[in-house]
Amino acid sequence: IDIALENGEFLVLLGSSGCGKSTLLNIIAGLAEATSGDVKIGGRSVLGVHPKNRDIAMVFQSYALYPNLTVRRNIGFGLEMRKVPAAERDKAVRETAKLLQIENLLDRKPGQLSGGQRQRVAIGRALVRKPQVFLFDEPLSNLDAKLRLEMRTELKRLHEMLRTTVVYVTHDQIEAMTLATRIAVMRDGRIEQLGTPEEIYSHPATLYVAGFVGAPAMNMLEAAVEDGKLAIAGTDARVTLPQRYASAVRNGASVVVGIRPEALRLG
């Protein structure tokens, strides 16, 4: 795996369960060790550096809030542990709460909040630290469909405002296509394709990506190249081979033709 992130980028690690996306995130965070290679944040190698000293903030699938503390103290707890002066801490918490539109919840405890509000508090606890990189590990998967939509919109808005680098893990294609500036589609611990949402959807690099991304899934048809045309197996259909592929395949070659459902026309 070799990825270089641009400053302020929103990179989504997309893949099915067990593909290695959360493991990669944990290696970046320092919660798991890399067997080889290097991890750099801000140009500095962080191999062997404790997670708290990596200048990152992480939001998990589980909200992991302190039930006995108010929202105010939950958001500011990390600053409190770093001995940040009370006045400075309170100002940072209020600014973060305003950004997340939860100012009216500061004196409540987690048990008095909805799932969406709790996740906002968890995000606020990360935001208040102003790290170089935010790491999100499937943060919306515990929310219902309506709340997921709201939080996707909220995360998009926050990223456009803050322009902080984000690495975001999900198996949800809609989240990936909506939020990402680039997507890394992962399979069996390796990257199948790295590109913009448009590139991933319109120009999949492998059969796996073509079949994995998109709902309904892409139609896959076996074909053979015959005199500049694609002869679809089992039919009399002949489709003109797009010019951009003419030099890449030889006459008689067996190929797979991928057709998105929305590209089909009848009549």
Read off the CATH number of the domain in which 113 is found.
Answer: 3.40.50.300
**Which among 179, 263, 254 is positioned nearest to 219, based on CA atoms?**
263
Domain boundary residue, one of 208, 227, 249: 208
Q: Which residue has the higher pLDDT, 265 or 138?
A: 138
Q: Are residues 179 and 251 in the same domain?
A: no
Q: Which domain holds residue 229?
A: 216-263
* Per-residue pLDDT tens over the stretch 68-120: 999 999 999 988 888 999 999 999 999 999 888 899 999 999 999 988 888 88
C-alpha distances (whole Å) from 98 to each of 92, 108, 124, 138, 233 are 10, 15, 10, 24, 60
Q: Is residue 120 located within the same domain as residue 193?
A: yes
Please name the amino acid found at residue 154: E
Domain final residue, candidates 192, 208, 224: 208
With respect to residue 85, please indicate whether it lies within any of the assigned structural domains.
yes
- Give the residue carrying structure tokens 């790491």: 135
| Look-up of token digits 């939001």 | 59
Per-residue pLDDT tens for 165-216? 999 999 999 999 999 999 999 999 999 999 999 999 999 999 999 999 998 8
Q: How far apart are CA 19 and CA 123, in angstroms?
A: 25
258 and 129 share a domain? Answer: no
- pLDDT digit string, tens, across residues 3-29: 999 999 999 999 999 999 999 999 999
Residue 3, domain member (yes or no): no
Residue 135 clears pLDDT 90, i.e. is over it:
yes
> Residues 245-267: what's their mean pLDDT?
85
Do 204 and 256 share a domain, yes or no? Answer: no
119 and 233 both lie in a single domain: no
In a domain, 45, yes or no: yes
Q: Is the domain of 160 the same as that of 258? A: no
For 254-266, letters b (16+ CB in 10 Å) and e give ebebbeeeeeeee
How many domains does the chain fold into? Answer: 2
